[in-house]
Structure 1
Amino acid sequence: MKPRLFHLVAQARQNLFRSADQVFSAELEVSGTQVVALFAIQSQEGCQLKDLTAQLQLKNSAITGLVGRMEDNGLIQRQPCEQDGRSTRLYLTDKGRAVVAQAKPVLARVNAQLTKGFTQDELAVVARFLHHAASIHFTTESPK
């Protein structure tokens, strides 16, 4: 019997995000989604909301709420975009940078738990599968 990969990936995603969110909330007092967003903003300091939306693959309304909460928590600040007066750019605050620094060892520990018991060759196959899964877009056509 073939493994039900879509179901397994969906279950894994749900469990990983729920578990990670509990760890980040308990240890950093920040949600897992906020940690992911902080890393994304750090990698593209000065990005616009549309850039963060694309990077996190969330809907506009979800990003708007997320950014608002992060700003309220003092993790980021918005500054007007010089090229487009209707838009803003996102920057980490000192508190946001501190959370990113504190999150790195937590992420290392989470990744160590996630990869425990797997060989490097097995992890390479898993990574290849996940990269593939992240890059495909399902169509309505049946595979030939």
Structure 2
Amino acid sequence: MDKRLFYLLNIARHRVYKHADQLSEEALGISVTQVGALLLVAGDEGCLLKDLARHLNLNNSALTGLAGRMEHKGLLERRPCDHDGRASRLYLTDLGRRKIDSAKPLITELNERMTEGFTDDEVDVILRFLNRLVNDF
């Protein structure tokens, strides 16, 4: 068994992301990053573009491109912020909401596949470990 933790985390993240992205593209016609953005906007309708960038760990130019592609696909719309004319707020479209509904079974399937063969106690340890990494680094 390989015990190189940093290496394994990196490879696992890459492979899971690639698999999830392929599933998302095939089933929904959008990337897994776009699904993530839709879910974040749904949780904070009218959020600022810069807040979404922070949550997705994207720089502003990368997020501007992502938002533009999503707007072009009819998934969300950008509206100017009432308080800051330079800022944009993001809102889901009906199509964006439907994509979220379609994505939920895929997310459930992916989570089930990742936890397959582990007991509930083992999954709790994995979750505790991953949450610690997210919060401490």
User: Is TM more than 0.5 here?
Assistant: yes
C-alpha distance in structure 2 between counterparts of 1:55 and 1:8, whole Å: 24
What does residue 66 of structure 1 align with?
66
Q: Deviation of residue 136 (structure 1)? A: 2.2
State the AA in 2 paired with 1:91.
Y
C-alpha distance in structure 1 between counterparts of 2:93 and 2:13, whole Å: 29
State the AA in 2 paired with 1:26.
E
Percent of aligned pairs sharing the same letter: 48
What does residue 142 of structure 1 align with?
none
C-alpha distance in structure 2 between counterparts of 1:93 and 1:72, whole Å: 12
State the AA in 1 paired with 2:104.
K
- Deviation beyond 2 Å, 4+ runs, structure 1: none
TM norm structure 1: 0.91
Unaligned ranges ≥5, structure 2: none
SS in 1 for 2:86: coil
Q: Deviation of residue 2 (structure 1)? A: 8.1
Q: Deviation of residue 129 (structure 1)? A: 0.8
Q: Deviation of residue 37 (structure 1)? A: 0.6
SS in 1 for 2:91: strand
What does residue 127 of structure 1 align with?
127
SS in 1 for 2:84: coil
Asked whether 1:31 is paired with 2:17, we answer no
Q: Deviation of residue 74 (structure 1)? A: 0.5
Task: Give the number of aligned pairs.
Answer: 137
C-alpha distance in structure 2 between counterparts of 1:134 and 1:13, whole Å: 13
C-alpha distance in structure 1 between counterparts of 2:18 and 2:2, whole Å: 27
Unaligned ranges ≥5, structure 1: 138-144
